[in-house]
């Protein structure tokens, strides 16, 4: 019997990329590839790149070069780029980075096994040619579902697959293979975005917004629960738009309670919410449904009206603060996080002061701050009133310092609160997990003062007794291993 082909997937970027990597892993395993964890143990190293901002692009290039260095020193024979950077730049990336043996776009995902085999055999597969993916689907959202089967949508593989293609995990198995044993997993709710923020290039290479069928989301969640997952995080470029192409803009409000009822799932988290699209009914569901985390990942980006208009976004400081007041009136312990861009073209000192006013009043649990930089193909890149790089850097440092102080203060406000902690690591360094107000990797964690009787995947009720910056220290309550409907609240 010939030796099995081996492949390693190296994933950079966001949770959406992680889902895409697990779909690629499912396709490859179904076609006989052996998945290995380390690139040095693989015949082919597949790097799932990020193409969002300059720092992420650099990390992607570094990962490709690092994998390329393995060639000739171990098993690795080929390095292949996939993901957003490969989709966005295609041939340009291939020419600039000859170390990559292949640059594959989303259209190659359905045939990923054949593509890798060709490259492994020494053949050449033409580098992906980028195109504006917004033009692949009808302008009208209502007409998109009929065309969806003809467009590559990573992470949207149907759950009801032909025999021999789905992993042998049961009748509901999606075309997905988990790449870790973590008790939390992301589920793709939709792809693409119809918003036209002037600073963002994502719609051009991720395409127009299109929802997954609720049945696929539910069945994939059931499958993940069978794999031991306790928390799912719904991801897309804009979860508040879910259902608009399925004839029901309020579809998320009806889907969430169904997801919360899946056996084995203790917590459902929703990410990527647009403030301008928040609906009272959605706020109600997120703050009152058992097992749905009262968690709001709101994409504010700024709060000064003039800057927001230049960004082609909506809102202002007072409206945003009113939204937060509404949320906390319904769920005082709700978690809220957001990202902000400083140094946007035309941003004045008064605009920056307005942003600082918002941050001081918002009591956010986690804050990401980025300095503006031009992104290829965006409207903002053509603006004339750019700020000097040193001004952008100074404002970035200034707002970042403020953000660090504010999230530490917010953590201190939680002293004495009772939190439900999903245990994620138990080792000699301690027992760590996350409360309902903390998303994976971005929002801090909770150190439990005692690990007796605890294991990964359990939810424990604990009292916050200390803070370390954004992180919390909590003491498990007596008899607090929680498996009830209230565990995720």
Closest CA to 23 of 9, 41, 43: 9
**Lookup: tokens for 19:** 């889902």
How far is 401 from 89, CA to CA, in rounded Å? 34
Give me the residues paired with residue 340 across strands: 301, 369
Structure tokens at 95: 């020419």
Is 50 annotated for ligand binding?
A: yes
Q: Are strands 34-35 and 44-49 parallel, antiparallel or unpaired?
A: unpaired
- List the one residue out of 105, 156, 108 whose CA is nearest residue 132: 105
Whether residue 436 contacts residue 294, with contact meaning beta carbons closer than 8 Å, is answered with yes
**Token pair for 27:** 């396709």
Burial call 215-252: b when 16+ CB within 10 Å, e when fewer:
ebbbbbbbbbbebebbbbbbbbbbbbbbbbbbeebebb
Q: For 122, left (φ over 0), alpha (ψ -120 to 50), or beta?
A: left
Q: Is 200 annotated as a binding residue?
A: yes
Q: How far is CA 169 from CA 15, 22, 158, 225, in A?
A: 23, 15, 15, 12
Say if residue 15 is exposed, middle or buried (CB neighbours under 10 Å; 0-12, 13-18, 19+): buried
Task: Give yes or no for a contact between 153 and 109, defined as CB atoms under 8 angstroms apart.
Answer: no
* 483 is annotated as contributing to ligand binding: no
The annotation places the binding site at 14, 50, 84, 193, 197, 200
The annotation places the binding site for [4Fe-4S] cluster at 14, 50, 84, 193, 197, 200
């Amino acid at each position: 019997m010939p030796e099995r082909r081996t492949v390693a997937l190296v994933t950079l970027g966001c949770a959406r990329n992680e889902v895409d990597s697990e779909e690629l892993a499912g396709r490859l395993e179904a076609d006989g590839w052996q998945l290995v964890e380390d690139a040095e143990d693989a015949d082919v190293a597949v790097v799932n790149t990020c193409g969002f901002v300059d720092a992420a692009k650099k990390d992607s290039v570094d990962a490709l070069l690092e994998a390329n260095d393995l060639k000739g020193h171990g098993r690795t024979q080929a390095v292949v780029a996939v993901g957003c950077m490969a989709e966005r730049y295609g041939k340009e990336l291939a020419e600039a980075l000859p170390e990559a043996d292949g640059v594959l776009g989303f259209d190659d995902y359905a045939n990923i096994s054949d593509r890798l085999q060709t490259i492994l055999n020494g053949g050449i597969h033409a580098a992906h040619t980028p195109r504006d993916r917004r033009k692949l689907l009808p302008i009208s959202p209502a007409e998109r579902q009929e065309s969806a089967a003809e467009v590559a949508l990573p992470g949207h593989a149907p759950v009801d697959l032909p025999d021999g293609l789905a992993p042998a995990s049961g009748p509901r198995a999606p075309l997905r293979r988990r790449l870790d044993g973590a008790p939390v997993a992301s589920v793709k709710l939709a792809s693409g975005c119809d918003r036209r923020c002037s600073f963002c290039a994502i719609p051009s290479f991720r395409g127009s917004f299109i929802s997954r069928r609720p049945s696929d989301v539910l069945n994939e969640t059931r499958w993940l629960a069978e794999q031991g997952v306790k928390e799912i995080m719904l991801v897309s470029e804009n979860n508040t738009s879910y259902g608009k192409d399925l004839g029901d803009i309020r579809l998320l409000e009806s889907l969430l309670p169904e997801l919360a009822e899946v056996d084995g799932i203790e917590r459902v988290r929703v990410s990527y919410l647009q403030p301008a699209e928040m609906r009272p009914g959605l706020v109600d569901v997120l703050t009152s449904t058992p097992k749905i985390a009262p968690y709001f990942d709101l994409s504010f980006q700024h709060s000064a009206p003039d800057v927001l208009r230049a960004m082609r976004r909506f809102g202002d400081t007072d409206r945003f603060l009113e939204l937060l007041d509404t949320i906390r009136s319904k769920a005082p312990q709700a978690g809220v996080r957001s990202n902000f861009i400083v140094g946007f073209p035309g941003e004045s000192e008064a605009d920056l002061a307005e942003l600082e006013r918002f941050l001081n009043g918002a009591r956010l649990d986690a804050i990401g701050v980025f300095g503006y930089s031009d992104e290829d193909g965006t409207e903002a890149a053509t603006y004339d009133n750019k700020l000097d790089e040193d001004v952008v850097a100074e404002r970035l440092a200034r707002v970042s310092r403020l953000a660090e102080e504010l999230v530490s203060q917010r953590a201190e406000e939680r002293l004495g609160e009772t939190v439900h902690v999903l245990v994620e690591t138990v080792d000699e360094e301690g027992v760590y997990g996350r409360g309902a107000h903390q998303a994976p990797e971005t929002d801090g964690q909770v150190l439990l003062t005692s690990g007796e009787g605890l294991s990964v995947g359990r939810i424990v009720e604990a009292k916050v007794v200390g803070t370390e910056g954004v992180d919390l220290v909590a003491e498990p309550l007596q008899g607090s291993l929680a498996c009830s409907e209230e565990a995720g609240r």
